[in-house]
């Protein structure tokens, strides 16, 4: 079974606290969980962060209204903002009987299948984790694992203000970020996207 929590727009720190509270429960046998949310403008620094990938000083970012966090996920620097749908799956990998590589591929497939609903061809990349439409990146992934339970997850740009990404080198890559809205050329309904994501997530992971 899968517990699904729609947290709407929520501070990154609160979402992290929610994940950390669920981790021991799921490791001990409770059902896996999927948290869906959006964050206010937030920049997070993963374990592989390099200063060269930040184009604006931390002080200036705070002055511009960003919240900054150093987090215990893999990867470099990532940006969250309203209009980006964040998926935080807490999956017991032993119970699912999958390894990290397969888990990441499945997580990418959820986004690929969602985009397929809109006739957008996308793919994951084992070399540079995330989801890509050609050379444009639409989803970033960074995870952590505790007692074989995953946390952190994927940020999928639905109707994000893409100009915000000019402040960082996303995931340490010289890449153009895109969104579902940008690709379609029209606005999209976040509630509809969430419903579709839940369905695709359940199918891909076998719930």
The full 3-state SS of 113-178, as one line of letters, equals HHHHCCCCCCEECCCCCCEEECCEEEEEEEEEEECCEEEEEEEEECCCCHHHHHHECHHHCCCEEC
Q: What pLDDT is attached to residue 171?
A: 82
In angstroms, rounded to a whole number, what is the distance separating the alpha carbons of residues 83 and 162?
10
Q: What pLDDT is attached to residue 191?
A: 97
Q: What pLDDT is attached to residue 174?
A: 82
204-to-166, 182, 195 alpha-carbon distances in Å: 33, 26, 14
Q: What pLDDT is attached to residue 35?
A: 98
Q: What is the pTM of this model?
A: 0.95
* Residue labelled with tokens 């940008």: 182
pLDDT by residue, tens only, the chain of 207 residues: 999 999 999 999 999 999 999 999 999 999 999 999 999 999 998 888 888 888 999 999 999 999 998 888 888 899 999 999 999 999 999 999 999 999 999 999 999 999 999 999 999 988 889 999 999 999 999 999 999 999 999 999 999 999 999 998 888 888 899 999 999 999 999 999 999 999 999 999 999
Q: What pLDDT is attached to residue 19?
A: 97
Query: Is 171 considered catalytic here?
Result: yes
Q: What pLDDT is attached to residue 105?
A: 97
In angstroms, rounded to a whole number, what is the distance separating the alpha carbons of residues 55 and 153?
24
Q: Record the tokens describing residue 2, joined without a space.
A: 């899968």
Q: What pLDDT is attached to residue 186?
A: 96
Q: Record the tokens describing residue 11, joined without a space.
A: 């501070």
Q: Is 103 helix (H, G, I), strand (E, B) or coil?
A: helix
Q: Is 92 helix (H, G, I), strand (E, B) or coil?
A: strand
In angstroms, rounded to a whole number, what is the distance separating the alpha carbons of residues 186 and 182?
7
Q: What pLDDT is attached to residue 72?
A: 86
Architecture of domain 2-205: 2-Layer Sandwich (3.30)
Among candidate residues 171, 180, 182, 198, the one labeled active-site is 171
Q: What pLDDT is attached to residue 53?
A: 87
In angstroms, rounded to a whole number, what is the distance separating the alpha carbons of residues 79 and 140?
9
């Amino acid at each position: 079974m899968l517990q699904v929590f729609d947290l709407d727009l929520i501070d990154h720190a609160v979402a992290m606290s929610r994940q950390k509270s669920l981790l021991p429960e799921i490791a001990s046998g409770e059902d896996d969980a999927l948290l869906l949310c959006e964050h206010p403008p937030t920049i997070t620094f993963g374990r592989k962060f390099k200063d060269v990938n930040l184009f604006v000083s931390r002080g200036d970012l705070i002055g511009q209204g960003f919240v900054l966090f150093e987090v215990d996920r893999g990867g470099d620097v990532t940006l969250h903002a309203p209009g980006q749908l964040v998926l935080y799956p807490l999956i017991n990998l032993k119970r699912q009987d999958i390894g990290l590589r397969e888990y990441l591929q499945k997580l990418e497939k959820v986004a690929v299948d969602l985009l397929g609903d809109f006739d957008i061809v996308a793919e994951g990349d084992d070399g540079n984790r995330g989801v890509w439409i050609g050379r444009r990146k639409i989803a970033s992934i960074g995870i952590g694992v505790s007692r074989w339970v995953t946390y952190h997850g994927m940020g999928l740009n639905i109707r994000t203000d893409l100009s915000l990404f000019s402040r960082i080198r996303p995931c340490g890559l010289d890449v153009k970020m895109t969104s579902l809205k940008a690709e379609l050329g029209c606005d999209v309904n976040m509630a509809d996207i969430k419903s579709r994501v839940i369905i695709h997530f359940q199918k891909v992971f076998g719930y």
